[in-house]
Amino acid sequence: MTPAFAKAAPSAPQTTGVGAIDWAAIRAQFPLLTRTVHGKSLVYLDSANTGQKPQAVIDAVNDFSARHNANVSRAVHALGGEATEAYEGARTSLARFLNVRRDELVLCSGTTFALNLVAYSWALPRLKAGDAIVLTRMEHHANIVPWQLVAERTGATIKVAELTPEGELDLDGLWTLLTPEVKLLAVAHVSNVLGTVNPIREICREAAKRGIVTVVDGSQAVPHRPVDIAALGCDFYALTGHKMCGPTGTGGLWGRRELLAQMPPFLGGGEMIKEVRFEGTVFNDPPMRFEAGTPNIAGHIGLGTAAEWLSSVGMAAIEAREQQLLEHAMQALQSVPGLRIFGTAREKAAVISFAIEGTHAHDLATLLDLEGIAVRSGQHCAHPLLAWFGVSATCRASLAFYNTEAEIDALVTAVNKVRTLLL
């Protein structure tokens, strides 16, 4: 029998138009959003850091833990079979959500692990002195540091694609960097600081013409817009589960089958083997080859549920709703005296990084928290980007479909209030 957590139908409405969706009813499925902090109603504007979870995801995780808990692929008893069925069902759900083959989808702890997997299993055995890796100025540290470590060990060099003042990639400059010695290009689909949406299909097409392998960080794209990996033309695509309404410690790496087949294991032990002898070990086929040890079973069951739940709402509708909220927020925040917004790309996700002249981002965020407003402050794991803008830190308000115009207005009111306290 299929366990309850694996077959529970999402309760979000099946619809495609943003105006046809009852967004208040959607929001009501997120229990955390009813909280108060410091005696104020919570206004959660930190979804680029981690997304909140609908009740369907919470129930799926809890039901597995309470009624079906067992390890996967290691027992013939009923619970073991239920756990394995549900875990592999989650892989299927996520693969369907991304429009990829399930046997090309590695389940892992998140984007950081996925990028390191590519760095150590694909890049490290292949790169050598004289080769080059191209990154962009807007990358998260997780898409910088692994490549630096590979470059240090192989003698390869790193080249950086720069931005326009609006926070868009300078594509002409990027094309000039794609010289014959470049073997790999790593790029964010959406910037976690600027909200810039990069033209990934065009970038991957130009890289492919030159025989350059492309690695895309999809952390900020998959939760907020339709992503058809098969249509992008990339070679690897990394994502994290907790930003897309799933549990922490979950995520995935999609890779082209022929590339995954060439890659040695990253970690050893568990289900990544077919046979172990002291004379030598026969490794499993991808994706199992890269899934050593006991996986986060409950977490990935929750992630599979999140993918199904998001699909039931419709990612196109989610993107449209978030664009409405972004437009409202950009207009409202520009009325605040002395406020500077970083990132005004023509195609932009619902992420707004800002600073107020004469204030520090941490002070601003601390006082906003006392007003019930949750935003992030700091460098957002993007030190090179903020240095390029000439600032040490910003505040970041990152929106999701479960936010409201009233919450944005509350943010603006609070910003105006705390500004007077700090100046």
Helix segments in 170-252, DSSP class H: 171-177, 200-209, 229-232
The DSSP secondary-structure symbol of 43 reads E
Query: Is 204 noted as a catalytic residue in this protein?
Result: no
- Amino acid identity of 166? E
Between CA 127 and CA 154 the distance in angstroms is: 6
Torsion over CA: 48, 28, 321, 371 (sign): negative
Exactly one of 108, 204, 245, 381 is catalytic; name it: 381
Torsion over CA: 299, 301, 302, 306 (sign): positive
The DSSP secondary-structure symbol of 288 reads G
Between CA 184 and CA 132 the distance in angstroms is: 7
Between CA 175 and CA 186 the distance in angstroms is: 14
Chain Cα centroid distance, residue 215: 14
182 three-class SS:
strand
Between CA 68 and CA 161 the distance in angstroms is: 49
Between CA 146 and CA 1 the distance in angstroms is: 43
Axis-axis angle for helices 297-313, 55-63 (nearest 10) = 150
Residue 12 in contact with residue 313, Cβ under 8 Å?
Answer: yes
Two tokens at 231?
Answer: 């249509």
Q: How many residues does the chain have?
A: 423
Active site residues: 381
